[in-house]
Amino acid sequence: DTTVKQNPRYKLARVGKPVNLICSQTMNHDTMYWYQKKPNQAPKLLLFYYDKILNREADTFEKFQSSRPNNSFCSLYIGSAGLEYSAMYLCASSSPGGAREQYFGPGTRLTVL
Amino acid sequence: GDSVTQTEGQVALSEEDFLTIHCNYSASGYPALFWYVQYPGEGPQFLFRASRDKEKGSSRGFEATYNKEATSFHLQKASVQESDSAVYYCALSDGSWQLIFGSGTQLTVMP
């Protein structure tokens, strides 16, 4: 079973309000990722967990937070949403090691008004 | 930094046409190269990968050959079907956890 689930599938948020997105995977993968995808752009890596270690990209360090309470679940948290956060958020997981294929969830479409 | 370029933003074909989607990369090392496909309402799905020069990756009738000299990994299929309509992403990994994606190519196949 190569399933990655994301909740909710659609999220509407007000400017300045917090947003919490959830991801789960059943493959016992050590590594979980969050990407941001905007129209006509490549998916952009925001952060990833290897086991319990969080790695955040330098340019998103202060904008996004995450937690991983157990191996199967991972959240993405935005403390104060801005209009620029409107995008598709994709969660993925992979087995450990570099250059591994990643398995993606269906995404959460976030609209900030 | 490393990057992936897909020159075609959109490709429109008829069923049984030959498909080529161009992918070129720029990397300081010797990256692994990937193709992913994304159908409407779903996340990207791994299609195949190649890790060495002249290695051919293939799946579901799609194929691409790693060309280190040309820094390319072009996706091809001999005869497309309407069900192949999707967004195709080329990506690379330098051996770290990060996948660097191209901007994607929307393939539309008309019956």
Annotate A38-104 with DSSP letters as a single string: -TTS--EEEEEEETTEEEE-GGGTTT-EEEEEETTEEEEEESS--GGG-EEEEEEEE-SSTT---EE
Which of 41-80 (B) contact A at CB < 8 A? Answer: 41-46, 49, 51
* Closest of B79, B78, B84 to residue B108, by C-alpha: B84
Q: A67, A74 in Cβ contact below 8 A?
A: yes
Question: CB neighbours (10 Å) of residue B54?
Answer: 10
Say how many CB pairs under 8 Å bridge A and B: 56
Rounded to whole angstroms, the Cα distance separating B34 from B95 reads 12
- The answer to whether residue B94 neighbours chain A at the CB level (below 8 Å) is yes
For A18, residues 6+ apart whose C-beta sits below 8 A from its C-beta are A77, A78, A79, A80, A81
Mean local confidence (pLDDT), A34-52 = 91
> For residue B58, what are the CA distances in angstroms to A33, A104, B65, B81?
25, 20, 9, 17
Which residue on chain A is closest to B93 by alpha carbon?
A99
Name every chain B residue with its beta carbon within 8 A of the beta carbon of A41: 103
Beta carbons within 10 angstroms of residue B17's beta carbon: 14
Residue of A nearest to B34 (CA): A101
Residue A24 tokens read as 């789960």
Contact status, residue B101 vs residue B92, Cβ threshold 8 Å: no
Buried b / exposed e over B69-87, threshold 16 CB at 10 Å, is eebbbbbebeebeeebbbb
B26, B99, B106, best to mutate vs chain A, most A CBs in 10 Å: B99
pLDDT confidence of residue B1 = 86
Give residue-wise pLDDT tens across range B18-56: 999 999 999 988 899 999 999 988 899 999 999 999 999
- Give the pLDDT confidence of A84-106 residue by residue, as tens digits: 999 999 999 998 776 788 999 99
Average pLDDT over residues A31-52: 92
Average pLDDT over residues A27-33: 92
Contact A33 B43 (CB under 8 A): no
- Residue type for position A19: V
**Cβ atoms of residues B72 and B53 within 8 Å:** no
Encode pLDDT of B42-96 as tens digits.
Answer: 899 999 999 999 999 999 999 999 999 999 999 999 999 999 999 999 999 987 7
Does B99 contact A98 at a Cβ distance shorter than 8 Å? no
Task: Check residue A62 and give its pLDDT.
Answer: 82
pLDDT reported for residue A40: 85
Angstroms from A77 CA to nearest CA on chain B? 20
